[in-house]
Amino acid sequence: MTYETPAAPGGTALTAAVLGGYLVAALVAALVVGIAYARVPEAELSGGMAAFGMALLYLLAFGGMAMVHSGLLIYWLRGRVRLWRLALGAAAAALTSFVLGFFLMSMSV
């Protein structure tokens, strides 16, 4: 008996699942920040510091929940060779621009 991997959802279902997951992650992260903001006494809220802390909390909550959906997306797209070649080319271009920018900045000093 052989094991067959389950098929990935189709184009529209895949897009809806991934975007829906990111939307849920964003809403839950906003809820977490709202609860944290409500629990901090107003006397301790220093404008910029509180905003920066809440922004970091949002990024942490959203990033943690979005990792699940990013992992599912990578799992579902594992058989698409053209996509991964394009992604590898984009990563190479980004790395090249980073290195070039570093050297240009070091030459202007």
41-63 confidence digits (pLDDT tens): 776 667 778 888 899 999 999 99
Give the count of beta carbons closer than 10 Å to the beta carbon of residue 15: 12
DSSP letter string over 29-96? Answer: HHHHHHHHHHHS-GGG--HHHHHHHHHHHHHHHHHHHHHHHHHHHHHHTTT-HHHHHHHHHHHHHHHH
Domains of the chain, residue spans: 11-78, 81-109
Q: Reply yes or no on whether the pLDDT at 21 is more than 80.
A: yes
Residues 6+ apart with CB under 8 A from 18: 69, 72, 73
Residue 96's pLDDT is 94
